[in-house]
């Protein structure tokens, strides 16, 4: 959403006093005024061009709130953020039995592994608003950003952190990181918990780490990884899901062999110039493949096509989503 609302459209964000997953609105973020909060029951009075669905329950909820059925009376796309979580590789997508609502995957790996049946699919890869090349690498530490690392454990590769701590001290950022020392057995000499910082504070603090560690086993492609690359950090990445295609060796190290990654992490921590060189390569890759302009252009094309198919007219700009 941070990137999505930077586009040229008007974005209607359901908001309720209690917030939460069904009414968070802007969530207190400094987004453009075109990202407008709206009370859910007021959606029926709005002239909506298209709806972006992100959870299966939203198909029915959207019809209740707008009086229009997504994919039939209201142009719609379904944005699938996640890798399948069960019966891989035979996971059927919740929208697989219909052909009216395109499923938009955030990685090619996800498109490959989800069985979407009759549903049309496309891929719009992540795009990041460039925070700038802030890298200093002044601290010989490995920065790692994981939300809920104790609860998610093997999914996020939290169990691997003690092995990486053999290469050097870790700095952990993200929601729910307070329990990491007890869960991993790592003391303050091997692990510093920085917690959930606002974006600008995260970028500044992360950029002073020598390298970035991405130990996730099963995820789409972490936005924190792409942010680290934009900052010009060298990256040490578990070569699973989309990371195996998105990261080149010049960016740092990518492999499914953990011992090799630990050795490469230690090498980057010990060699600031090598770390800086690989960080510059990581930034170049991120800007070329995961830039904001490409991301917004892809969404403009898709939304225009979806609306045009419904209206029977050429694509138009400035849609309300």
Residue showing tokens 């939304």: 303
Backbone Cα Rg of the chain? 21
Q: What are the 10-residue block averages of pLDDT along the chain, 321 residues in total? A: 95 94 91 96 95 96 96 96 90 95 97 96 96 97 97 96 98 96 97 93 97 96 95 97 93 97 98 98 96 96 90 50 62
CB 114 within 8 A of CB 131: no
Nearest one of 79, 134, 76 to 105, comparing CA atoms:
79
What is the DSSP secondary structure assignment for residue 53, as one 8-state letter? E
Cβ atoms within 10 Å of 298's Cβ, excluding its own: 16
- The pLDDT assigned to 310 comes to 64
Domain range list for the chain: 4-127+292-311, 139-289
Residue showing tokens 């069960």: 86
DSSP E strand stretches across 166-292 = 170-173, 191-195, 209-214, 235-238, 252-255
Q: How many helices (H) and strands (E) does the chain have?
A: 11, 12
Contacts within 8 Å (CB) and 24+ apart, 85-92: 88/113, 89/113, 89/115, 90/115, 91/115, 92/117
Classified by CATH at the fold level, domain 139-289 comes out as: Rossmann fold (3.40.50)
pTM, 2 dp: 0.90
Q: What are phi and psi of 71, to 5 degrees?
A: 85, -15
Nearest one of 291, 49, 252 to 135, comparing CA atoms:
252
- The pLDDT assigned to 309 comes to 83
- The pLDDT assigned to 148 comes to 96
Distances in Å between the Cα of 95 and the Cα atoms of 84, 107, 114, 119, 220 are 13, 17, 11, 7, 19
Residue showing tokens 């950003």: 145
What is the DSSP secondary structure assignment for residue 219, as one 8-state letter? -
For residues 44 and 296, what is the distance between their CA atoms, to the nearest angstrom?
A: 27
């Amino acid at each position: 959403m941070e990137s999505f609302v930077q586009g040229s459209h008007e974005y209607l964000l359901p908001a309720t006093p209690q917030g939460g997953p069904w009414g968070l609105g802007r969530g207190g973020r400094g987004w453009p005024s075109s990202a407008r909060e709206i009370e859910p029951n007021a959606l029926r009075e709005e002239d909506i061009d298209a709806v972006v669905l992100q959870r299966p329950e939203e198909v029915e909820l959207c019809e209740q709130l707008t009086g229009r059925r997504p994919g039939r009376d209201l142009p719609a796309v379904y944005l699938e953020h996640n890798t399948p979580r069960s019966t891989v590789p035979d996971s059927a997508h919740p929208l697989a039995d219909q052909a009216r609502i395109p499923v938009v995957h955030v990685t090619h790996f996800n498109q490959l592994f989800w069985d979407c049946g009759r549903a049309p699919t496309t891929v719009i890869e992540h795009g990041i608003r460039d925070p700038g090349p802030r890298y200093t690498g002044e601290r010989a530490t490995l920065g790692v950003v994981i939300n809920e690392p104790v609860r998610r454990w093997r999914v996020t590769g939290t169990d691997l952190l003690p092995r990486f701590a053999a290469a050097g001290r870790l700095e952990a950022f993200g929601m729910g990181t307070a329990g990491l020392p007890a869960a991993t057995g790592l003391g303050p000499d091997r692990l510093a918990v920085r917690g959930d910082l606002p974006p600008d504070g995260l970028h500044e603090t992360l950029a002073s780490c020598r390298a970035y560690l991405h130990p996730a086993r099963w995820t789409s492609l972490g936005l924190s990884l792409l942010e680290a690359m934009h900052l010009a950090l060298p990256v040490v990445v578990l070569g699973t899901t989309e990371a195996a295609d998105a990261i080149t060796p010049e960016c740092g190290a990518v492999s499914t062999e953990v011992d090799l990654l630990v050795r490469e992490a230690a090498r980057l921590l010990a060699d600031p110039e090598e770390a800086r060189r690989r960080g510059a390569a990581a930034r170049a890759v991120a800007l070329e493949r995961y830039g904001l302009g490409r991301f917004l252009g892809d969404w403009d094309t898709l939304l225009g096509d979806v609306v045009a198919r419904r209206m029977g007219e050429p694509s138009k700009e400035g849609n309300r989503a």
